[in-house]
Amino acid sequence: MYTNPNLNYILEIIRFVAFGLCIILNSMLLKMITMHRHNDLGMYRFLLLAFVSADILYGFIHFLVVPVPESYKNAFVMGGHGTWSSRNGIGFIWPLVFSLAFPMLSFNFAYRLVAVKFPFRLELFKDTRVIAGLFAIATGNCLAWSIMSRSTGFDDAESQRYVHGFFTSNGSLHTYMRHDITDIDDYIVVLFWDRGFLNGFHLLFRWDYGFLDGIHWANCIGAATMGMLGSVAYTFMAYAAVNILYYMEKNSQWSERHHKQHVQLFRALVLQAMTPFVTSYIPLGLCGLLPFFGADFPLFSVLVPPLCAFHPVLDGVIMLTTVSQFRQVLIGSQNTLIDWLRCRPQRRNSRVIMIELEDPTGRTTDVIGMRKMTVSPT
């Protein structure tokens, strides 16, 4: 895998630690979300369940595939260096689960926007047509990523000839990876220019030369489409976030508990959107963009795999530490976590309202304790 055995050893440890934490934290979240105690999350818990399940699926596939992005001149090269190192794993299945976060995050933002702007229309998320529409959007997004990755990176003899020197360099190139020409069929190779970036620009006004003749349009359009899908998702998230903030400030009639829960869920969602954006999407996007201009940054092959592996872990950490319902299970009252691990019924904390009743004789009666009844704000 890596030429430096110590680096290879360290990254393997990080790989197993990230996968273990992903499974543990997100499995805890799955159980907490389904607990009767947290039914005050309302229908939102179903979107949370889908999001957490997607994180577990991504963590599992990433652990099996271990994608490592690299670049060579004007070509983007990526191979799987885990248990599942075939081209189908790196070029079809991994992009599918990697892109699943875009629709999942968008759906969560859409729900939170409806919850603060049109709270009486949340029943729409129970409509089978709405559910089918969300499922179709998520499926279409993931298939688009997989199809683009497969069509641009598979079975292109010209691209493989272009990177032949990359796989036979024998240490003459500045790279952290060890390559073997026999493994070239297990890599996806996306070639943007076969004669260099903007080569032939000076021939623009020559009638006998085609402008930008050396560009691979299909690969450029495919890469741009994948980038556009992610940009559309994050543009919608930004729009929804601005409106959610506006309506949370506008709805001053909310109870303190109602407002607090909205703020916590919104804060967790924003952090869950920004974490993969910074740790995964920007580094991987730069890995794909730099070869277009003929640039290279070999250190990305070391940084990107562990960063991508940790974003589902950070999603779990954010939810467990930001939302009070989940945080109380971990750091709440004594034996709460022990009861949860043993599947015992959760203790319910009841607020007591002290009411003094005065009888007709003027004497004050005994104080009556009443359990506070709550309604789901989400």
**The pLDDT of residue 353:** 38
The DSSP letter of residue 2 is: B
Report yes or no: 212 and 198 within 8 Å, Cβ to Cβ.
yes
Q: Is a pLDDT exceeding 60 seen at residue 363?
A: no
Mean pLDDT of 205-219: 62
Please, are residues 144 and 225 in contact by the beta-carbon 8 Å criterion?
Answer: yes
Residue 373 DSSP SS3: coil
pLDDT value, residue 341: 54
- Give the range among 33-47, 73-87, 88-102, 309-323 with minimum mean pLDDT: 33-47
Question: Sign of the C-alpha dihedral, residues 338, 340, 346, 350?
Answer: positive
Give me the DSSP letters along 111-151: HHHHHHH-GGGGGGGG-HHHHHHHHHHHHHHHHHHHHHHHH
- Which of 45-49, 123-127, 192-196, 371-375 has the weakest average pLDDT? 371-375
Task: Decide if pLDDT at 145 tops 60.
Answer: yes
Buried b (16+ CB within 10 A) or exposed e, 332-354: beeebeeebeeeeeeeeeeeeee
- Give 4's strand partners: none
39 pLDDT tier (thresholds 50, 70, 90): low
Task: Please state which architecture CATH assigns to domain 5-337.
Answer: Up-down Bundle (1.20)
The answer, yes or no, to whether residue 364 has pLDDT greater than 50, is no
The band of 218, judged by pLDDT with boundaries at 50, 70 and 90, is confident
Q: Residue 357: pLDDT above 80? A: no
Beta-bridge mates of residue 2: 177
Helix (H, G, I), strand (E, B) or coil at 360: coil
Per-residue pLDDT at 251: 72
What CA–CA distances, in Å, run from 154 to 8, 78, 87, 297? 27, 11, 8, 24
When pLDDT is cut at 50, 70 and 90, the band that residue 360 belongs to is: very low
Range with the largest mean pLDDT of 5-9, 60-64, 149-153: 60-64
Give percent of the chain above pLDDT 90.
35
64 neighbors 82 (Cβ within 8 angstroms): yes
Q: Are 200 and 213 in contact (CB under 8 A)?
A: yes
Whole-number pLDDT of residue 362: 45
Q: Three-state DSSP class for 200? A: coil
Please give the model's pTM, rounded to 2 decimal places: 0.81
Q: Are 378 and 262 within 8 A, CB to CB?
A: yes
At residue 4, what is the residue type? Answer: N
CB 45 within 8 A of CB 149: no
Question: Environment class of residue 163 by beta-carbon count within 10 Å: exposed (0-12), middle (13-18) or buried (19+)?
Answer: buried
CA 160 from centroid of its chain's CA atoms: 31
The pLDDT of 72-76, averaged and rounded, is 88
Residue with the larger pLDDT of the pair 255 and 264: 264
Which residues 6+ apart lie within 8 Å of 282 measured at CB? none
Residue ranges with strand state E in the chain: 67-72, 75-80, 187-191, 352-355, 368-371
Residues paired with residue 72 on neighbouring β-strands, in sequence order: 75
Q: What is the pLDDT of residues 283-294, one digit of tens each?
A: 999 998 999 888
Which of the four pLDDT bands, split at 50, 70 and 90, describes residue 67? very high
Q: First-to-last CA distance in the chain?
A: 48
Cα 106 from Cα 213, distance rounded (Å): 39
Burial status of residue 111 (CB atoms within 10 A of its CB: 0-12, 13-18, 19 or more): buried
pLDDT in tens, 159-175: 888 888 888 877 667 78
Residue type, 178: R
